């Protein structure tokens, strides 16, 4: 029963809704009217005619001055119109550029809104599927748990005087820290009253009524006068031991001593992976990022003797 991945919502790129640019409240300047200018000249000439009669020759001079003044006023109005018109055109040009940019930004925002709604619908569908699959998974696990409870594994008995290897105490601390279950030591499993089996460690999952025999295998013993080979693949005693535990509904995991001393946390992850495969219990978070264990080839009697001669256990 593999774990079901929790759906994650990925927020689409946020685009702020654009603001419509304000159209300039300007009135286009009016062009100077040539007809008004001619009317002004005519009015000046008409008035100046009276000045000529009243003042004499000086009236002609006044007429010339009036025409110059009227021309200057017209010229100034004409040029003032050009300046105002240029400023107005520049403002309107900037406004049209802002309006074009607004239209583009608005289209992008509308697309982002559509994308966001689509992402939300997709996320809601994935969440619904996740809930359905999680419910089904939980039901299957509960059914499997009930079936495990019907199994009657041979129960261990407390009390064992079996000698301990150099790696067992260190590995015991690591097991207790990383595995969320009961680690049992100094227990024996009775095959014959005179010759009980004594697992190095027992990992017990009460909810599943599951016992796991965890063994640390050395290729040879270092105590006594000579080096005696042990835990060999061609040793019938070791083969019979595994068969006994399997027939009594136990799980057996064997590690090489080298693995336990060099990679104790990786060994814990392997145990957690095995439990996950068996009953669907998720691997603890603190073990998920740990590398998988590196395999060590098992040895037969001939290879164990060669390892003893080379004092292999002194190099790890």
pTM of full prediction above 0.75: no
Secondary structure letter of residue 23 according to DSSP: P
Q: Which of 189, 186, 190, 196 is nearest to 163 (CA)?
A: 186
Q: For position 177, what pLDDT does the model report?
A: 93
- Tens digits of residue pLDDT in 173-191: 999 999 977 899 999 998 7
Going by their DSSP bridges, the two strands 210-217 and 251-256 should be labelled as parallel
Q: Is the pLDDT of residue 166 over 80?
A: no
For 86-112, give one letter per residue: b (16+ CB within 10 A) or e. eeeeeeeeeeeebeeeeeeeeeeeeeb
Query: Which range (27-36, 50-59, 138-147, 280-289) has the least confidence?
Result: 50-59
Least confident of 7-16, 277-286, 301-310: 7-16
- Confidence (pLDDT) at 257: 95
Residue 56 has pLDDT above 60, yes or no: no
Query: In terms of pLDDT, which residue wins out, 60 or 170?
Result: 170
Query: What are the contacts of 111-114 at 24+ separation with CB within 8 A?
Result: 112/12, 112/13, 112/14, 112/15
> What distance in Å separates the CA atoms of residue 261 and residue 272, rounded to the nearest whole number?
18
Calculate ∠ Cα 281-287-293, nearest 5°: 100
Residue 138 confidence class, pLDDT cut points 50, 70, 90:
confident
- Given this model, what pLDDT does residue 46 score? 66
Quick one: what percent of the chain has pLDDT higher than 70?
Answer: 76
**pLDDT averaged over the chain?**
82
Question: Which tokens is 298 given?
Answer: 């098992």
Q: Cα 313 to chain center, whole Å?
A: 43
pLDDT band at 305 (very low <50, low <70, confident <90, very high): very high
217 burial class (0-12, 13-18, 19+ CB within 10 angstroms)?
buried
pLDDT reported for residue 249: 94
> In this structure, what token pair is assigned to residue 175?
């097991």
The span from the CA of 309 to the CA of 191, in Å, is 34
* Residue 137: per-residue pLDDT: 85
* CA torsion through residues 299, 305, 306, 308, sign: positive
Between 258 and 110, the higher pLDDT residue: 258
Which of these ranges, 145-149, 242-246, 292-296, has the smallest mean pLDDT?
145-149
């Amino acid at each position: 029963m593999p774990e079901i991945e929790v759906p994650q919502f990925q927020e689409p790129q946020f685009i702020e809704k654009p603001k419509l640019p304000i159209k300039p409240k300007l009135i286009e300047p009016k062009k100077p009217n040539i007809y008004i200018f001619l009317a002004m000249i005519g009015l000046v000439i008409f008035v100046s005619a009276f000045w000529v009669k009243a003042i004499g020759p000086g009236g002609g001079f006044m007429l010339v001055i009036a025409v110059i003044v009227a021309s200057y006023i017209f010229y100034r109005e004409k040029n003032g119109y050009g300046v105002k018109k240029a400023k107005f055109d520049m403002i309107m040009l900037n406004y049209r550029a802002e309006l074009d940019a607004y239209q583009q930004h608005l289209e992008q925002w509308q697309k982002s809104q559509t994308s966001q709604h689509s992402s939300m619908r997709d996320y809601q569908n994935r969440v619904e599927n996740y809930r359905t699959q999680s419910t089904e998974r939980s039901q299957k696990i509960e059914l499997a748990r009930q079936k495990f409870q019907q199994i009657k594994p041979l129960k261990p008995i407390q009390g064992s005087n079996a000698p301990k290897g150099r790696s067992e105490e260190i590995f015991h601390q690591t097991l207790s820290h990383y595995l969320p279950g009961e680690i049992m030591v100094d227990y024996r499993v009775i095959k014959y009253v005179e010759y009980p089996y004594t697992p190095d460690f027992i990992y017990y999952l009460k909810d599943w009524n599951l016992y796991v025999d965890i063994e640390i295998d050395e290729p040879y013993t270092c105590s006594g006068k000579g080096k005696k080979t042990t835990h060999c693949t061609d040793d019938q005693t070791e083969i019979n031991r595994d068969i006994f535990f399997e027939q009594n509904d136990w799980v057996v995991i064997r590690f090489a001593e080298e693995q336990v001393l060099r990679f104790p946390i990786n060994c814990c992850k392997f145990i957690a992976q095995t439990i996950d495969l068996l009953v669907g219990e998720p691997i603890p978070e603190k073990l998920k990022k740990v590398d998988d264990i590196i395999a060590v080839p098992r040895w037969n009697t001939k290879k164990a003797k060669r390892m003893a001669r080379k004092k292999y256990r002194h190099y790890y």
